[in-house]
Each structure stands twice: as C-alpha cells, then as structure tokens.
Structure 1
Amino acid sequence: MRAMILAAGRGERMRPLTDTRPKPLLAAGGEPLIVHLLRRLAAAGYKEIVINLAYRGEMIREALGDGAAYGAHIAYSDEGKTALETGGGLRRALPLLGDAPFLAVNADVWCDHPLYPHDPGDDLAHLVLVDNPPQHPGGDFHLQGDRVDDAGESRLTFSGIGYYRPELFAGTPDDAFPLAPLLRRAMAAGRVGGEHHRGLWLDIGTPERLADLDARLATGRAHAPHATPHRS
C-alpha cells in the first residue's frame, strides 16, 4: 500500500511562522513535522510515499529529496502556486498513487495511531475518528460500530487520517474541491467505514499548539509507538 502526505496548505493560522517556510517544515522536538511523519510511515511499512506541494513546495522537495534518507521513495505531486484543497489534491495525485487503496495523512497532525496498512474492502473510505478537541467541539461525523455517517447526533472529529479507494474520486474534475462532499455522498451509499482512535491526537494548527507539541516531545509526553501488525 502507498501513502500520501497532504502538505500543500498555506498555513494561514500559523503565521508569522509560515511567512518564510511551509507549515510541514516547522520543527517540534528538533525535527520538522513532516520528517516525524515520514519516519513513522516508513516504520509502518510504507515504502512508496506521495507528497503534494503548493505553497513554498520547493523547500519541501529540497529538504526531503527522494526519501532515501527515511527508508522510502518519495514522489511529488505539484499543484502549482495554489493548493487544490484536500479532494483536488488527492485526485491530482492518483496517477502516482496507483489503482489500489492508499493511506492519506495530513502533515499537520500528530497522532499515535499505528498507521497500519488497511484495505477498506468494499468501502470507498475508512476514516480514523478521534474525540472532539476544544477548538472543534461539534465534531464531523457519526460512528455506529464500524460505519460512518453524517446523520447521528453524537459526533467525532475526523483526524486527517484516512484510507481511500481511487474510485471515491470517479467523475471529479482536475481542479480544486473539498473532500467532505465526496465522503458524505459515499456515506449516503453506506460505503464509508471507520474507527474511533482514543489515543493522542493533536491538530498542530497554530503556533501555540506547535509549542505545546514541542514541550510534549521534550518531556516524552508525545511518544509515537512503533507500527504494529494489523489484520484488515
């Protein structure tokens, strides 16, 4: 299975830190956020990794190279000067991701989910959901057993970690568009599965949250475990 790191966003909430560098290259615990994630993906068995680029993308490409230093091969999906949003970015990268299901992870989340390879089977997507953080108390989706829908009142937050079949993007334009409407359409068809991850999850979306992660790493409170085998 291949993996994709979503790294094209502008990082407006991170300003002024992102005025001179893309958010994935901001450091916590002595290393850029995207390097932490690359190491975890390689440890989980992903050897082919796609990274999408837009804002200051050349800096990411220069910093990471071909991925050999992290035990993987990196292919870059260049979106130009303006990011294509999550849906458009995933759709643009499909030629690099192939015909099989793939994992996609936001570059600006820190989570101790094991990131195991997982085949969603007949589902078009499998989402990792987490408890609602203070900045997003209403959550995103409802989880009943292993099924995700948009109708239930008790909601969880989408972690930014998802497994997708390329068929989810059938008929979509090669342009900017959000992912959520595609997921809701698939939910209405009963084709989105999910899980509730109850471990550590942090949305590193502001300078304060980046500082919090840095402090956690310094004191060992944000340890990400080694990957563990998983039966799909």
Structure 2
Amino acid sequence: MLHINKYDLCIFDCDGVIFDSNNLKIQAMEEVLISYFFQAGEIKNSLGYFKKNFGKSRFHHVEYFLNNFLCVETNKKNDLKHNILDDFSSKCQKLYLKANLTPDILSLLNKCVSKKFIASGSEQSELRSVLEHRKLSKYFESIFGSPTPKDEIIHNILEKESTRNAVMIGDSFSDMSAAETNKIDFIFYSPFSNVKDEMIEKCTSKKYLIINSFNELGLNYD
C-alpha cells in the first residue's frame, strides 16, 4: 500500500476528486448550449468532447465547440463564446455550493501532512471563492485553476517548492498528462471519472496506482 505522506507535495484535481461535480458540470454545459437553440446533434457532439476531455479548461472547450461542432457565423463566434462562458460560470458557482464532497476527502485532507495544492481546469477565481465558501481553502497552500494550463500550474508549484517529490491525484487524461509532463507520480481516483474504463486501461498499462477509495492511501480513517 502506498503511503501518501511519503510525498513532499500532494496536488489534487478538483472536479471528481474534491467534489462529486463532474456530472453536474456536464449537465450545466448541456443546459447552456440548449438555451442558445443549437441542434441536438451539435450539442451531443460538444458534450461528448467535453466529457472525454474533462479536466481541460472551459475556455478550451467552448472555443473547440465553436470551431468544430456548433454552426455559428464567424463574426458572431467571439461574442457567443463570452456569453456561453459567462452562463456556464454562473451555473458552476451555484452547483459547487450544493455538490457533495467525495467520500473520505476531508479525512484525507486532515491526515495528509504533505503540502497540499489544487491544480484544476476550473476557472481560478471562481474556484477559490467556492472553496473559501465551503471552508476548504484552509487545507491547501494554494489553489490554482484556468486559464493557466494544468501542466504549467504543476510546473510552477514544483519550481516554487524546489522539490519533485510530488504526486498528482486526478481522474482524467489531462491530470495524468500534466503529471507525466512534469515527471511526477500520478494516482487515478476512479469512482467519479467520466472516462473510468479508458483510464483504468491506460493507468494499468503505465503501472499507475488506481484507487477506488482514499483509504487506500495508507492513512488510518476513523
């Protein structure tokens, strides 16, 4: 059994790791796209990409939707992009306030003595506000989000802390890729992943630790 406290730094994704919020955010994006009267096929393709690439920033996703799936006149794309992002942000702020915490995450945060950080695809100021409201900010040295890419966030954390004895706990391909880019360990937390089967296959082939519960990380839970 791996003991999480062997690391100097423990870097967490947010959606699907801290909060059980993945499906809530997919539903929120669907509601926003429906409100702009896009065709069912356009919405289906956009949500399929959103789900498969969860963990990337909303800025990336909306721009990708507009360039690849949504039929929008070129001169209207920029305004529509900002409108979709604003509407999605408003919905996310509300859903984060009601989203359940993942099982045992509070016990892990209390008992893990490593320095803890968040590196998320969620918008940074929104994320910091929500974590403060949910009284979770106190557990983390710093909370980082988009538009800065996740691999860059991790790079900056490692540089500032002057150590590479670190692990990323995530549930998506973007989390795994960010860890690999920075040559740190990766742990796949699987219960709420949108790409669980694909990630299990990939993590098994790469020999990354796969966990179904945080109590597999070598800490005793009361």
User: Taking structure 1 as the reference length, what is the TM-score of the superposition?
Assistant: 0.39
Q: Highest CA radius of gyration, 1 or 2?
A: 2
Specify which structure has the bigger relative contact order, considering alpha-carbon pairs within 8 angstroms and separated by 6 or more residues: 2
The structure with more strand, counted as a fraction of residues = 1
Question: Whose helix fraction is larger, Structure 1's or Structure 2's?
Answer: 2
TM-score (norm 2): 0.40
